[in-house]
């Protein structure tokens, strides 16, 4: 278990405190050796590398964060809330998050805005800088993205499970995620990228998504995704049986 420190900004001479065992991060997650300060946006959602996430910005502190990010052309970090809420006093975040780059902005006359972010690098929060800004700021290390052991076999199993899952989703909900084209598109793509694409396509709760984000290698992530996809496909199959009995959905092949 790693430790997250809540530390002072040395330039402002503020006090420090340390929280032991704060976030329960796997110590084997591969770190890079470079750290930097990164503005943090705690949310009830998980952003994966390569994925898009639209956000409605209305709180003054996050209006400031986003304005600075746009003006300076700098990313910020999105972290899942561990305790607390998106609105109100600062929430306690999980310590692994994803760097977010703003790719589209729509400003409203009242100061609010809608933005679209794209996930880039994963990071681990080593410390929270207290009182540096009205929003959270973290001292972060960016994480490596190793493929892990035997990624090819895990990749094939995950893609097969994804295909079955997407067919089940389409049969039950007519959701666009059910298009078979996605599995064809991912053939020949590097395991690291495939693992992230699959992570973003599975409709599971944020805690399970966070666990996928924290996996130290693509191989381990693919194994876990295969397990989740098979579970979700079975559950969708059970639902489809009930819907078919009511004459509401097609057969699942």
Token pair for residue 145?
């993205």
Q: What is the pLDDT of residues 231-242, one digit of tens each?
A: 999 999 888 888
Distances (CA, A) of 114 to 54, 55, 66, 107, 184: 7, 6, 10, 6, 33
- Domain assignments of the chain as residue spans, ordered by start: 4-143, 151-245
Banded pLDDT at 204 (limits 50, 70, 90): very high
| pLDDT averaged over every residue in the chain | 84
User: For the segment 43-101, what is each residue's pLDDT rounded down to a tens digit?
Assistant: 999 999 999 999 999 999 999 999 999 999 999 999 999 987 666 667 789 999 999 99
Does pLDDT of 8 surpass 60?
no
What global pTM score does this model have? 0.81
Cα 8–chain centre separation = 27
User: In the CATH scheme, what is the code of domain 4-143?
Assistant: 2.30.130.40
The mean pLDDT value for 161-189 works out to 79
């Amino acid at each position: 278990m790693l430790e997250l420190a809540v530390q002072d900004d040395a330039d402002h001479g503020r006090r420090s405190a340390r929280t032991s065992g704060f976030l329960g991060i796997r110590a084997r997650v591969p770190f890079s050796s470079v750290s930097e300060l990164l503005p943090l946006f705690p949310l009830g959602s998980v952003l994966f590398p390569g994925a898009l996430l639209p956000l409605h910005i209305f709180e003054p502190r996050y209006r400031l964060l986003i304005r600075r990010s746009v003006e300076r052309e700098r990313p910020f970090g999105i972290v899942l809330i561990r305790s607390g809420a998106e609105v109100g006093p600062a929430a306690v975040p999980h310590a692994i998050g994803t760097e977010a780059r703003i790719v589209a902005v729509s400003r409203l006359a009242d100061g609010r805005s809608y933005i679209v972010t794209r996930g880039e690098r994963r990071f681990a929060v080593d410390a929270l800088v207290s009182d540096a800004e009205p929003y959270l700021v973290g001292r972060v290390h960016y994480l490596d993205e190793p493929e892990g052991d035997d990624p090819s076999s895990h990749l094939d199993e995950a893609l097969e499970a994804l295909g079955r899952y997407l067919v089940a989703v389409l049969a039950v909900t007519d959701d666009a995620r059910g298009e078979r084209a996605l599995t064809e598109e991912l053939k020949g793509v590097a395991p690291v990228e495939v693992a992230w694409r699959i992570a973003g396509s599975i409709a599971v709760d944020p805690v399970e998504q966070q666990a996928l984000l924290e996996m130290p290698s693509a191989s381990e992530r693919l194994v876990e995704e295969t397990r989740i996809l098979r579970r979700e496909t079975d559950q969708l199959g059970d639902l489809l049986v009930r819907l078919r009995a009511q004459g509401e959905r097609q057969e699942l092949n």
